[in-house]
Amino acid sequence: MNKTLIASSLVLLSVCATSYAVANDHPLEWKSDDGSATFKVGGVLRFNHRYEQWDESQNRGAGKLDFDIFRLDLTGKYDDFYLNASPIIQDQEMTSVEKAYVGYKINPEHSVEAGLVYKPFAIYPYPQNGWTYHLPFFLGYGNNIAPGFNWNFNNPAWDIKLGYYPRMLDADLRYSPESGTYDDFSENHLPFQAAYQNEKHHQFNARVAHKFDTQHLGKHEVGFSGAVSELHNTLTKEDGDYYAMGVHSNSNYERWNLQSSIIHYEYDAKNPHGVDSRMTLMGANGLTPSYFIASEGTVGSVNLAYTLPIQDMGKLKAIRFYNDYSYFDKTESDWKASQMNTTGAMFIAKPFMVWADYTWAKNANILGGAQNGTGLTTGQDSKYSDQWLYRINLNLGVSF
């Protein structure tokens, strides 16, 4: 897909939407007289600065403030129909889509959605508090979308989502990583990955969460998730299997929030003879190199946050302190576990929002392991095997 054309289309759409807004005296928003139809354009522009510990990093020195993303948030409704889309322009002239779907509200509790929809699973859709994504995200369980359909049921006690996705999102539009073929990742594959040619077909997801209030301990959610799909090999023309299951919790007590999840998954591929099926190829739109993950494993996460309200400090209204921890255990007994921990704060001063993260990890591709892509598999062949590495990240954003 022509990325220049995509970028031009996004700008044109933004300008057109803004024209509607000006004509109706509502900046970036249009409403019908009776309120039955609305269309709104929002978005965010972000810049990023980081310092990374390992020798090969381009951000090892003082560095500079770099462009991160420009995202449009397009929302609207017409009677019981609604629209939600977020196209993105990223660093290195990459484009992606966070979501893009239309929905229909059947009644106050039931709705259906079609398009590029979220695949509901566990902590949803973001599996962490900080700007830095954690291990569930890099295994495909965070902010992950696909072309397909979702059915939603939501009331004060239950949040149930069921989805079907015939294929995965095209690799050149992925914001979050997903399994795919070497040929899919033409923008970012590496030569030693050429034998890995598996792609998901006909995936089904289910997420069932129960919500309840307690008199003295706040509001809580506990849930179960499952996913299954075919795993088609384009070389052997045979279909293997993929499945995942997870449990999660999300609790709010006064200013505190505690999230937890445990996810177990397995890719059972029908690879050609001689291909190591203990590994599965993952990737996104080329912003970072594609990488291997263990074909079977269990990932757990615990996230704790505290929101401190601020008064009499201008636009600064709150600071959210957080610590996100995730642990990835591979089924292969001699493969080293991966760990990540992020401590940070989010400064809320609308329209500005600032994240300051300190992340340290071992056997994780995002920190040092990208040199040969083994961090989320064996972890044994990397120069930094079993070493804790750190990254300091500052992300500045302005929304509109």
Mean pLDDT within 72-95: 95
pLDDT at residue 372, as a whole number: 66
pLDDT above 70 covers what percent of the chain? 92
**Residue 15: per-residue pLDDT:** 41
pLDDT of residue 108: 96
**pLDDT value of position 192:** 82
Mean pLDDT, rounded, for 135-139: 97
Q: Is the pLDDT of residue 254 over 60?
A: yes
Write down the mean pLDDT value for the chain.
Answer: 91
- Residue 367 in contact with residue 50, Cβ under 8 Å? no
Tell how strand 389-399 and strand 352-362 pair up: antiparallel
Decide: 303 and 260 in contact? Cβ < 8 Å: yes
pTM of the model: 0.91
Q: How far is CA 94 from CA 17, 43, 68, 134, 175, in A?
A: 23, 17, 10, 21, 10
Map out the domains of the chain with their CATH numbers. Answer: 3-399 (2.40.160.10)
Checking if the pLDDT of 20 tops 60, the result is no
* pLDDT at 27 (0 to 100): 61
Query: Could you give the 3-state DSSP secondary structure of residue 355?
Result: strand
Distance CA 288, CA 370 (A): 9
Q: Residues 53, 56, 58, 63: is their CA dihedral positive or negative?
A: positive
Residue 147: is the preceding peptide bond cis (ω within 30°)?
no
pLDDT band at 54 (very low <50, low <70, confident <90, very high): confident
State pLDDT tens for residues 277-291: 999 999 999 888 899
Predicted pLDDT at 274 = 94
Residue 71 has pLDDT above 90, yes or no: yes
Res 375: pLDDT: 85
Model pLDDT for residues 169-206, shown as the tens digit of each residue: 999 999 999 999 999 987 777 788 889 999 999 999 99
Q: Which residue has the higher pLDDT, 229 or 22?
A: 229
How many residues in the chain?
400
3-state secondary structure of 366: coil
Lowest mean pLDDT among 20-24, 52-56, 245-249, 258-262: 20-24
